[in-house]
Amino acid sequence: MRILTHNFMQCPRSKSYPMRLVPTEVETVETEYSGEFIEHMLKRLNWDVLRSTASELELGELPETMPESEESNPEAFKLLHKILMETHVKSGTLVSGDGSTTYQINNYIANMMTTSTDPSTSNEQQKESEDVDME
Amino acid sequence: MRHRVVENKSCVDRGSTPLARRKFLHILISKHSVGFQRIKNTLLMGTDYGTHNQRPSAFPVKDGLFKQRDSARAGTITGRERKRIQRVDLVGVVRFLMMRFLVLFRGTFQGFRHPEFCSLVRLIGGLERADAFQGLQPCWKGEGNEETRQHGDVFQWVELDSLEEARRIASRSVLIRAIFICWGCGRSYQECLDNVLETDPDMEPLLSDGDESFKCVIDGFGRSYSYDDQISKMTFFTPVLSKLKAKVRLKKPAHEIWIMEDVFPSKGHRHIPDRSEQPRQVFLGLKIADGGHHYASSYTLKRRKYIGTTSMDAELSFIMANQAVVKPGSVVMDPFVGTGSIIISAAAFGAEVIGSDIDMNVLRGKEDRDIRSNFSQYNLNFPAGIIRCDLLKSPWRDGSVSGGWLDAILCDPPYGIREGSRSFNEYEVPEELKAGHIPQTKRVRFSDHLVNLLDFAAKNLVVHGRLVFWLPTTPDYSDEDVPTHACMKLVSNCEQVLTMRFRRRLLTFEKFHSLERAELDSELVRLTYGERSTKSAHTNFAATVLRQQHRREETLELPRRK
Ligand SMILES: C[S@@+](CC[C@H](N)C(=O)[O-])C[C@H]1O[C@@H](n2cnc3c(N)ncnc32)[C@H](O)[C@@H]1O
């Protein structure tokens, strides 16, 4: 899961936003830079949440106010690219704003079920869905 | 018999050949010192440009215009009417400046051709261009029933702004084989040849003897020819081809001239026409663009490492991404992502993708094969998020992002044939049991997914963002089965017949105004769909198609909705 996605997520149970992202394993995957993409995402992102997440994860300090354009602050754009596009959370947890629920991230997959599960035992659910599976 | 020739001639009058059009444009620009863009703007602004008497003699004249101009001459019109007439003439000017192309489609998914093409016009040219787009015109205007027409419909006329536009549309379309500048056409070889000679199309750049090279391709829709047959068909066009100075080169020629036939088998559309049968349409054209079918073949499920029973065919996934006008940098979500087959196509077009599903096993995959490994297989950037969640209890900040945040939503919702529609039961689990707890799921009515999906789309899409999904149905389908939402406009609805009892429809919705605006009118925001869901063809879809009574949805309790 990338930080980009985190910015749009809320706790499905308490509806609190944002959730605290506590990664235990983070990977950086280099991707081609596109200033255009960052610019068009900026309008949709919650800047304060992004800024505090970036600083909590020690990814870098973003300016207090959202940069207007690439020309006005090219460094911030480069940093945004690294934060939004290149940082992948492989494992960790997402904690709802009120601290009531913890969701696991394992193998890049965030498990947002409203009841927590042990990933190793969900085979039984598979059986249940095979009952439905016709082919 | 004259029908086709006459029609093609009138298209030449309107300047279908690049030369005539260039000439006309030249006159227009030099005499009136205006650019094409200005003519277009004039048209859009509704004010008039130029005067009638300065119009070049080749001015396009449509039937309706004749009458109006006659009445103008007779002096029976008012000032306001005159203004309108001048506007109509400008429509003529712009249409005249449009180039007419011949589009050759592949034989599959007929119903999807027009919607895909329109979506691509929108993708390349934007909203305004899409509004002005006149649509495809089938070349086959002859008699015949539905089947004979469908067969001939692989050939379509289209008017576009430029070669560039045609090329860009073709390169994204998985249904187009190629686009041509048509040099001539007719109902037989002779008619086609006569038509080419009579209209004398612009054959640049093949007329100069520089480095240009070309080859001839014979294409019979639905049949192939022996070498001798091909040679004799080419020699038939010697009067035309002999004018060309460019070299003939069979390997990697710079240009291809296609001789295309539409032979409708006399035994019916399911048969292959036999060799003696005569074509009912013949076209000669210069190919200017290839279609994008390579997307479907290079992403075929046959060679994909991680697939499941519900994986979407690559070709259809690309059609879905085209329907959704996905472009580089679009943010695209599949809330029923399964093995990720639909988001692959969006990612291949450069989108940032997010997928979610309720089933952890399908997301996790098998051994080293999963959604991510598919993305690596195709060298695509990894998804921005793979989330396990129940769409009915969504973890997305829906609505609170003003104006939405997704450019498109693509999906194949669960309808209980292969994958059940289900949702988690919500209940408290004591803390000490949580670690090993397996949450209970329950079956959910399909219509609840539909209502929820439209609602989800209305909340999360940006304005003009699109929702594209499959609606499973039966032959009992009626248009009333299509769900409605105050913010969402149905753009297209095409059927794919799978078996006698099982069909599905690809529905494309566009969010046409913001949720806030719709909420002003709370009457409108009401989902009209859920109330009558028991009558629609897809209710009890699984029960009907599988003939299993225990799958009937009436037994399911109505979900609580806030
Ligand atoms: C028809 S399949 C789509 C498969 C997908 N196109 C693919 O590439 O494999 C429907 C999917 O929806 C999932 N599903 C069922 N109920 C759901 C729910 N309430 N929320 C989210 N996903 C659900 C199923 O697990 C299944 O994978």
What is the C-alpha separation between B439 and A125, in angstroms, rounded? 8
Are residues B236 and B196 in contact, defined by beta-carbon separation less than 8 angstroms? no
Poorest-confidence range of A126-135, B119-128, B316-325? A126-135
B53 at interface of A, judged by CB pairs closer than 8 A = no
Give the pLDDT confidence of B451-467 residue by residue, as tens digits. Answer: 889 989 988 999 999 99
Please report, rounded to a whole number, the percentage of residues in chain A having pLDDT higher than 70.
84
pLDDT top residue among B116 and B432? B116
| B434 vs A: CB within 8 A | yes
Decide if B514 contacts B457 (C-beta within 8 A).
Answer: no
pLDDT band with cut points at 50, 70 and 90 for residue B330: very high
Which B residues 502-521 touch A at CB under 8 Å?
A: none
Stretch among A93-107, B36-50, B294-308 having the lowest mean pLDDT: B36-50
CA gap B551, B528 in Å, rounded: 25
What pLDDT was estimated at residue B128? 86
Cβ-count burial of B499 within 10 angstroms (0-12 exposed, 13-18 middle, 19+ buried)?
A: exposed
Residues 325-354 of B with CB under 8 A from A: 328-329, 331, 352, 354
pLDDT at B527: 47
Q: Which value does ipTM take for this structure?
A: 0.86
Least confident of A22-26, B308-312, B437-441: B437-441
Judge contact between B149 and B271, C-beta under 8 A: no
The partner residue sitting opposite B395, judged by closest CB among A9, A109, A116, is: A9
Partner residue facing B437 (CB), from A5, A115, A126: A115
State the Cα–Cα distance between residues B370 and B361, nearest whole angstrom.
10
In this structure, the residue with its CA closest to atom 1 of ligand 1 is B414
More confident residue, B279 or B206: B279
Q: Atom 27 of ligand 1 has which residue's CA nearest to it?
A: B338
Confidence band, pLDDT 50/70/90 cuts, at residue A39: very high
User: Chain A neighbours among B 220-249 (CB < 8 Å)?
Assistant: none
Task: Place B25 in a pLDDT band, splitting at 50, 70 and 90.
Answer: low
Q: Does residue A94 contact residue A56 with C-beta atoms inside 8 Å? A: no
Ligand 1 center–CA B411 separation, angstroms: 9
Check pLDDT > 70 for residue B125.
Answer: yes
Decide if B206 contacts B246 (C-beta within 8 A). Answer: yes
Q: Which residue has the higher pLDDT, B480 or B470?
A: B470
Q: What is the mean pLDDT of residues A85-101?
A: 93
Q: What is the mean pLDDT of residues A16-41?
A: 94
Residue B87 predicted with pLDDT over 70? no
At residue B556, the pLDDT reads: 59
Top mutation candidate among B358, B360, B425 for ligand 1, by most atoms within 8 Å of CB: B358
Task: Quote the pLDDT of residue B518.
Answer: 56
For the segment A67-72, the average pLDDT, to the nearest whole number, is 91
Our answer on whether the CB atom of B330 is closer than 6 Å to any ligand 1 atom is: no
Beta strand B281-290 with B331-334 is unpaired
Are A129 and B420 a contacting pair at CB < 8 A?
yes
Count of other CB atoms within 10 angstroms of residue A105? 24
Q: Which residue of B has its CA nearest to A35?
A: B329
pLDDT tier at B523 (50, 70, 90 boundaries)? Answer: very low
| Closest CA to ligand 1's atom 11 | B336
Does ligand 1 lie within 6 Å of residue B421's CB atom?
Answer: yes
State residue A75's pLDDT score. Answer: 94
Task: Tell me which chain B residues have a C-beta less than 8 angstroms from the C-beta of A80.
Answer: none
> Rounded to two decimals, what is the model's pTM?
0.81
Residue B558 neighbours by CB distance under 10 Å: 8
Whether B184 shows a pLDDT value over 70: the answer reads: yes
**Tokens for B40?**
């277009």
Q: How far is A86 from chain B (nearest CA, A)?
A: 10
B34 confidence band (pLDDT: 50, 70, 90): very low
Residue B45 CB neighbour total at 10 angstroms: 10
- The model's confidence at residue B44, banded by pLDDT at 50, 70 and 90, is very low
Q: What is the pLDDT of residue B532?
A: 47
* Cα gap A118→B429, rounded to integer Å: 13
Q: pLDDT tens for residues B252-307?
A: 998 999 999 988 777 766 777 677 778 889 999 999 999 999 999 999 999 999 99
Residues B465, B397: Cα–Cα separation, whole Å: 17
Is residue B308 lining ligand 1, measured as CB closer than 6 Å?
yes
* Tokens of residue B16, six digits: 């279908």
Contact B406, B460 (CB under 8 A): yes
**What pLDDT was estimated at residue A113?**
82
Chain B, nearest residue to A6 by Cα: B385
- Chain B residue closest to A133 (CA)? B418
Task: Say what the pLDDT of residue B301 is.
Answer: 96
Distance in Å, CA A31 to ligand 1 centroid:
29
Tell me which residue of B451, B447, B448, B504 sits closest to B475, measured CA to CA. Answer: B504
Least confident among B30-44, B108-122, B539-553: B30-44
* Token reading at B411: 């999906």
Scanning B287-367, the segments in alpha helix (DSSP H) are: 294-298, 314-323, 341-348, 360-364
List CB contacts of B249: < 8 A, sequence separation 6 or more: B213, B214, B215
B6's CB contacts (< 8 A; 6+ apart) are none
Are A17 and B397 in contact (CB < 8 Å)?
A: yes
- Highest average pLDDT, of B93-97, B261-265, B269-273, B479-483, comes from B479-483
Helices (H), B300-413: 314-323, 341-348, 360-364, 371-377
**Residue B524 has what pLDDT?**
46
Q: What is the mean pLDDT of residues B389-398?
A: 86
Residue B542 in tokens: 């699984």
Evaluated on CA atoms B528, B530, B534, B539, the torsion sign reads positive
pLDDT at B60: 34
Element (H, E) at B26: helix B18-32
| B340 alpha carbon – ligand 1 mean position (Å) | 10
Contact B434 A116 (CB under 8 A): yes
| Distances B155 to B138, B220, B254, B464, B558 between C-alpha atoms, Å | 6, 12, 24, 31, 49
pLDDT band at B447 (very low <50, low <70, confident <90, very high): confident
Lowest mean pLDDT across A3-17, B8-22, B197-211, B306-320: B8-22
**How far does the CA of residue B142 sit from the closest CA of chain A (Å)?**
44
In chain B, which residues have their Cβ closer than 8 Å to the Cβ of A13?
393
Q: Is the pLDDT of residue B321 over 80?
A: yes
AA identity, residue B316? L
Compute the C-alpha angle A106/A107/A110, nearest 5°: 50
**Chain B positions in Cβ-Cβ contact with residue A132 (cut-off 8 Å):** 416, 418-420, 422
Put residue B499 in one of left, alpha, beta given phi > 0 → left and psi -120 to 50 → alpha: beta
Query: Nearest CB to A117: which of B356, B418, B439?
Result: B439
Q: Which of B181-195, B487-501, B545-559 has the lowest mean pLDDT?
A: B545-559
Give the residue from B378, B392, B404, B385 showing the smallest Cα distance to B513.
B404
pLDDT at B65 over 50: no
Top-confidence residue, B259 or A125: B259
A-chain residues within 8 Å CB-CB of B420?
A: 129, 132
Question: Of the ranges B11-15, B234-238, B380-384, B441-445, which one carries the lowest mean pLDDT score?
Answer: B11-15
Higher pLDDT among residues A20 and B514, named by residue = A20
Label residue B52 by pLDDT band (50, 70, 90).
very low
- Of B490, B489, B482, B486, nearest in space to B515 by CA: B486
Question: For residue B446, what pLDDT is reported?
Answer: 78
Question: How many angstroms is it from B414 CA to the middle of ligand 1?
Answer: 5
Give B395's contacts in chain A (Cβ within 8 Å): 9-12, 112
pLDDT at residue B14, rounded to an integer = 39
pLDDT for residue B326: 98
Is residue B328 over pLDDT 50? yes
Across the interface, whether the CB atoms of B397 and A123 are under 8 A apart is answered no
Is pLDDT above 90 for A107?
yes
Ranked by mean pLDDT, which of A92-96, B2-6, B71-75, B219-223 comes out on top? Answer: A92-96
Asked if B401 reaches chain A (Cβ–Cβ under 8 Å), the answer is yes
The pLDDT value given to residue B517: 59
Ligand 1 neighbour B414 (Cβ under 6 A): yes
Backbone phi, psi, residue B21, to 5°: -70, -40
- Residue A108's region, left for phi above 0, alpha for psi from -120 to 50, else beta, is left
- B307 C-alpha to ligand 1 centroid (Å): 13
* Dist. CA B228–CA B437, nearest whole Å: 73
CA distance A102 to chain B (A): 11
What whole-number percentage of chain B has pLDDT above 90? 40
pLDDT top residue among B418 and B370? B370
Backbone angles phi, psi at A12, to 5 degrees: -65, -20
Average pLDDT, chain B: 77
